[in-house]
Amino acid sequence: MIIFAFTIIYFTERNIPWRMNLLNYLFLGLAIILVFISFIWNYPLLIKQGIPTKFPWVIFFFAELLSLIAYLRVFIL
């Protein structure tokens, strides 16, 4: 998602046209929500013990995959 943002800034500064459609916005929105969920997944355990024991990598990677698909749809395809 960070590369996505930097690419948008790069294209905008150089007046290179790019387009986002509804599906890409949905992919990015879902990716943002899933990344947030992956970081707060163990919040009760973190409050109770102070040290996180595991991280939901599957949710995080799925979010990154959605972000990558949106990026490819906007700037490559």
What are the tens digits of pLDDT across the range 24-53?
Answer: 899 999 999 999 999 888 888 778 877 777
Q: Which domain holds residue 49?
A: 2-76
Contacts of 7 (CB under 8 A, 6+ apart): 71, 75
pLDDT at 19: 82
| Tally of domains within the chain | 1
Question: What is the reported pTM?
Answer: 0.78
